[in-house]
Chain A
């Protein structure tokens, strides 16, 4: 075991999969010699050379679109979109082309592609670098969406994503890239997509979260220990979704708080709330609470901390649930 940050774990997963499978290639802006703006692909160009690691022209649609052709013709590309906010430029290629290739060819062609992209707030970026856009893609059948919250999960989930036969959007919370280290096995391992993780067990309230918000949820649970017994669930992947884990927790606690950075209306939290309403309504003893970004564009750094889900908003949410 080694102590790793999340970015090291992702790097480790890419390097090991490239060593294992020569069909795995890396492409994107600045991913070659520069090793990526976050150093996620550091050293891969030196190790695997210019026939496996490509500094592409600066064109998001081009990166995803050519990756589809590469994937359909035998490769397993890892395409980097430098920041998730830039993905709008590749919207058709991702949501209408990569997602639908298997479907529109009735299984003749497939698209085993991983699109990895940093996202998330709290790091004082310029505009359109911090947006959490998972909801857009959760609305696009054919894509899988994975959002790790720590180094151990990131490595195992990333390896599963590369080995998956379908396109996976792998969203990396950039605030957590180097936030903390944890034990990560040196050998490759898979964490199956579609399996949530119970971060901490509890009896009173269920906090459902993913990606950047998970460590915050865990912290709140710790802080409120003794007063409120909080269970924290890290979904890890939104598509496929692990409903069973949500259900058993909600059945137990009857109080649900959903936390995500993306804007509230039509965010993925709304889907979870709807599922609970459809399938577990009578387990609830309180209305569902959502702590999310507000329904505005992602704001400038001077006010982003108040915009994001934060400790104060979450504690208030838990207290509201406990009034019932």
Chain B
């Protein structure tokens, strides 16, 4: 009889909470790479805080903040090639940005513009998924296509701990392993699916171990250690690219903010718990400590960087806000390649109403 308690699952961690780690391992990360990782994480944090504020000001719609999960998202995305495919859920704004999504496009999304879900051409990012776990199957199918075409791209699918309870998660991992397709399932286990804690989501000790049941590789990584996430994802991507099949990565992390701007997390988790994660496990702090030890980042640089990002956010917002307001008539263009006669009639009705509204 197999017992999960006999499984030995170790969490990959390269950088501890104080910015320490094995010297040789840390040396394998160049100054440039460390700076890129840090700057992206800092940038993501600033953007997240600004978006949260803008939501409170009524300038954007409902928003799902990701603060606390920067290492998981930035570390994994920067381990990819630009042509690789991303399948994000609504909490992966940082991953989308770091993969090349323009910030103005994010603003179109959170401001509810008709073109908000339109990834710019040349960028392989699927529209942000709302249905929990539905994108796991799309990622598997996309990676399957890649394999059939003989291309070398991988598909990376993001989801949370809650998604692992969905049937689609099971079907996606099963298909992916049966067909040995180059897909990485990247689970950000942030301990809560809105209010439901991981202990009520699954009786598995880890999510990573679920991989075994599908005959694929699984790995548990400290999701707040950007170096561990980067290295683990690189290795998984390498394997997938070489045709060695899919990998399930569980990144253990924590959402410091609410589920969305409509959520009150004090109802389901203690202030102490949040403080503990903030104080001791913030993914930015520990990398910052390493940068300081290497003398490659100063307070002045940090200040300048934050100011620069703030500027970028303001500019992107203004650019997005200056784009012409969408018209309801536009949405009819995206239902089918060609609208049916009856749908066309409905569009014409909307156009006529718009003319009346505009006094034309």
Contact = CB atoms under 8 A, between A and B. Distances in A.
A218 interface: no
Given A51-B148, A65-B141, A73-B145, A104 B167 contact: no
Given A108-B121, A194-B340, A240-B342, A73 B142 contact: yes
A110 B336 CA distance: 9
Given A96-B131, A194-B340, A106 B118 contact: yes
B167 A61 contact: yes
A103 B331 CA distance: 7
B141 A66 contact: yes
Contacts of A102: 334-337
A66 B144 contact: yes
A253 interface: no
| Interface of A, helix, strand, loop or mixed by DSSP | mixed
Contacts of A289: none
B55 interface: no
Interface stretch (B74-82, B168-176, B186-194): B168-176
Interface residues of A, number: 46
A74 B145 contact: yes
B340 A106 contact: no
Contact of B138 (A59, A74, A97): A97
Nearest to B140: A66
Interface in A49-96: 51, 54, 56-57, 59, 61-62, 64-75, 92-93, 96
Interface string A274-287: 00000000000000
Nearest to B120: A108
Contact of A103 (B141, B142, B335): B335
A61 B135 CA distance: 12
A114 to B, nearest CB: 15
A111 to B, nearest CB: 10
Contacts, number: 141
Max chain B CB contacts within 10 Å: which of A107, A108, A164? Answer: A108
A302 interface: no
Contact of A65 (B116, B119, B134, B179): B134
Q: Which of A103, A106, A109, A141 has the most CB of B within 10 A?
A: A106
Interface string A172-196: 0000000000000000000000100
Interface in B174-233: 174-175, 178-179
A75 B134 contact: no
Given A66-B141, A68-B138, A59 B175 contact: yes
A206 B66 CA distance: 60
Contacts of B167: 61
A279 to B, nearest CB: 10
Given A61-B137, A61-B167, A67-B141, A106 B174 contact: no
B108 to A, nearest CB: 9
Contacts of B168: 61-62, 65, 92-93
A62 B331 contact: no
A105 B138 contact: no
Contacts of A61: 137, 167-168, 171
B46 interface: no
A70 B145 contact: yes
A241 B340 contact: yes
B117 interface: yes
Contacts of B35: none
Contacts of A5: none
Contact of B142 (A51, A70, A97): A70
A106 B115 contact: yes
Given A51-B148, A74-B145, A104-B127, A62 B335 contact: no
Nearest to A77: B141
B58 interface: no
B140 A105 contact: no
A41 interface: no
A38 interface: no
Interface in B314-360: 331, 333-337, 340-343
B143 interface: yes
A198 to B, nearest CB: 18
Interface in B110-160: 114-119, 121, 126-127, 131, 134, 136-146, 148-149, 155
A213 interface: no
A3 interface: no
B148 A75 contact: yes
B141 A73 contact: yes
25 contacts: A56-B175, A57-B174, A59-B175, A62-B174, A65-B134, A65-B136, A66-B144, A66-B172, A68-B137, A68-B138, A69-B143, A69-B144, A70-B142, A97-B131, A104-B117, A104-B127, A105-B117, A107-B118, A108-B117, A108-B127, A109-B119, A142-B336, A164-B337, A194-B341, A241-B340
Given A70-B145, A108-B119, A241-B342, 14 more contacts: A61-B168, A62-B172, A64-B137, A67-B141, A69-B138, A70-B142, A70-B144, A73-B141, A74-B145, A93-B168, A107-B333, A109-B126, A109-B127, A240-B340
Nearest 4 A/B pairs, CB to CB:
A69-B141, A65-B137, A240-B340, A62-B171
